[in-house]
Structure 1
Amino acid sequence: MTLRNRPLETIERTRTETTAVVTGGARGFGKAFGTALADEGATVVLIDVDESAVQKAAADIRASGGSAIGVVGDVADETAMAAIMAEASAVNGGIDVLINNAGLHSDEYSKPIGELGLPKTRRLFEVNVVGVIACTVAAHPHMAHRDGASIVNIASAAAHLGGTAYGTSKLAVAGLTITFARELGADGIRVNAISPGMIFTDTIRAELPDEVKARVKAMQLIDIDGAESDVVEAMLFLTSGRARFITGETLRVTGGMAAGT
């Protein structure tokens, strides 16, 4: 479902001056980012491959008084992303914030490439790496010369530790952050990334074995549990005017786990 499939009156009713696009917006960090940006007054466009989940996420934000539209799309599909970004831009005459959050993760992809196999590795990189490229390229013309335009890519502490296909894909995201900061800076677009460490979401608490949680937490320099809000606050900072002189950087939100790597 694209924006033009939404009733026009819905778009008009949710219109504000700022448009923020969040990929992987149906759940987890993506939904939390969308909710926080809507709370800041933005019209939020959530993109996800799961139609029912992304529509529910958008409906939840609207029920809380925010402005949100749910859109179905695969971030690795450059044609689809170009169309969606153009339609998102039409809501308010441009795109102000892009959060490249969509990604494949979990224990399934946290394996050596030789163990994961080429087909799964290829799909991992299509979503985690090509998806960032496709969405950034598609959003670029709609963000150029917008006051305060900002892109935030979601990397991972795994990028700095090495050893897995997933971590390597996120290392590429950190590299793309520098590349796009250089390419888009002339158009007034800042590009940064966040590398979350072990964040105790409901999924992590339920699915990650206790011994793994204990091992990772022992790598931290401070003995507290990372929370979803820690990553959300980092995103809000990087997309705000307080970070107007920051671009090409990856902010590690890890409790010190990635220090020195």
Structure 2
Amino acid sequence: MPDSFVDQHRQQDGFLMNRFEKKVAFVTGGAQGFGEAFCRSLATEGASVVVADIDVTRAESTATELTKAGFNALAVQCDVGDEDAVGAAVSRVVDTFGGIDILVNNAGLHLTRYNQPFSTMPRADMRALFDVNVFGIVNTSIACLDTMRSRGGGTIVNISSIAAYNPITAYGVSKLTVRALTIALAHDFASAGVRCNAIAPGLIGTDSALADLPQAFVDSFIEDRQVVHRLGRMDDIVAMMLYLCADESSFITGETIKVSGGTPLWI
């Protein structure tokens, strides 16, 4: 774990930020990318963090780094598309930490392989896409509902995409479904005291995205489509995730919030 991250986020006015003290956060796809950044930021603000990932080796590596830095972290193997595997992972977390307060549904399939028209995309890839991007959220959210209810409520943050606002590919449709599912779960879980919101990231300069996209496309997207003419940063998404998990957003549920440099903008 980069020391700069801990140094930057660990202190404010000389003391550790503890917005999520005594909270337990379950982050899917937590071993790398957005998920790893989410785990780090939640841990630095006091949460016990569950690094849930299908790649248990990488999950254990991330959890070990957090533990060495002085945080509470647990790695669990979790294929979000497998209802039984999700149930087993959640049960282990409840046994270890006593419950779950925050769920970040970050695991997802994306990039060029899954960003294809329905007419050309192999059905096997299409099924995998919806199993993870849609049913993965259903599986984890339902599995966490009882423990959240027993702890007086909780928060769920789903990761959608700006592709959901012009859904012309299978990936875009899966992320549009995430927006709709966020509304449905906000209604369904409200009586349990659980809020559910989503983030729709724009073009973010992650290693995987920059490796997948031609530089000319990235440059054109920033200059011609965005109102804010810079590449999105991981911290832009982390900041919104933290806000939606915190009490500051207690009057917000069922919403999908774009963090995308102003694309697309319309009424």
- What TM-score results when the alignment is normalised by the length of structure 1? 0.91
Q: Which consecutive residues of structure 2, in runs of 5 or more, have no partner in the other structure?
A: 1-20
Give the corresponding residue for 1:78.
83
Q: CA deviation at 1:66?
A: 1.6
Counterpart of 1:193 in 2: which secondary structure? strand
Give the corresponding residue for 1:251.
257
Q: Does 1:146 align with 2:148?
A: no
CA distance, structure 2, for counterparts of residue 148 and residue 82 of structure 1: 19
Give the corresponding residue for 1:128.
133
Q: Percent identity?
A: 41
Aligned length: 246
CA distance, structure 1, for counterparts of residue 151 and residue 233 of structure 2: 32
Matches within 5 A, 1:230-249: 230-249=236-255
Q: Is this contact kept in 2: 1:23–1:48, CA < 8 A?
A: yes
CA distance, structure 1, for counterparts of residue 176 and residue 201 of structure 2: 13
Counterpart of 2:156 in 1: which secondary structure? strand
Give the corresponding residue for 1:219.
225
Give the corresponding residue for 1:166.
171
Deviation string 1:216-249 (CA, Å, 9 cap, x unpaired) is 2221111122100000000000000000000000
Give the corresponding residue for 1:96.
101
Q: CA deviation at 1:69?
A: 0.8
Equivalent AA in structure 1 for residue 81 of structure 2: A
Q: Does 1:58 align with 2:58?
A: no
Q: CA deviation at 1:204?
A: 2.4
- What TM-score results when the alignment is normalised by the length of structure 2? 0.89
Q: Is this contact kept in 2: 1:148–1:244, CA < 8 A?
A: no
Give the corresponding residue for 2:202.
197
Name the stretch that deviates more: 249-258 or 65-74: 65-74
Q: Does 1:109 align with 2:109?
A: no
CA distance, structure 2, for counterparts of residue 179 and residue 134 of structure 1: 14
Give the corresponding residue for 1:180.
185
The two structures, once aligned, show a CA RMSD in angstroms of: 1.4
CA distance, structure 2, for counterparts of residue 147 and residue 36 of structure 1: 23
Q: Is this contact kept in 2: 1:45–1:70, CA < 8 A?
A: yes
Q: Does 1:25 align with 2:30?
A: yes
Q: Is this contact kept in 2: 1:17–1:92, CA < 8 A?
A: no
Q: CA deviation at 1:122?
A: 0.7
CA distance, structure 2, for counterparts of residue 206 and residue 124 of structure 1: 20
Deviation string 1:191-222 (CA, Å, 9 cap, x unpaired) is 00000000011222333211211232221111
Counterpart of 2:111 in 1: which secondary structure? coil
Q: Which consecutive residues of structure 1, in runs of 5 or more, have no partner in the other structure?
A: 1-15
CA distance, structure 1, for counterparts of residue 93 and residue 102 of structure 2: 11
Equivalent AA in structure 1 for residue 118 of structure 2: I
The correspondence for 2:50, drawn from 45, 52, 57, is: 45
Q: CA deviation at 1:145?
A: 5.2
Deviation string 1:40-95 (CA, Å, 9 cap, x unpaired) is 11111111111211111111211222211111121011111112112212333221
CA distance, structure 1, for counterparts of residue 217 and residue 180 of structure 2: 28
Q: Is this contact kept in 2: 1:148–1:240, CA < 8 A?
A: no
Q: CA deviation at 1:165?
A: 0.7
CA distance, structure 1, for counterparts of residue 133 and residue 179 of structure 2: 11
Deviation string 1:160-185 (CA, Å, 9 cap, x unpaired) is 12211111101111110000000001
Counterpart of 1:222 in 2: which secondary structure? coil
- Stretches of 4+ moved more than 4 A in 1? none
CA distance, structure 2, for counterparts of residue 242 and residue 145 of structure 1: 22
Equivalent AA in structure 2 for residue 123 of structure 1: A
Q: CA deviation at 1:147?
A: 4.5
Equivalent AA in structure 2 for residue 23 of structure 1: T
Equivalent AA in structure 1 for residue 260 of structure 2: T
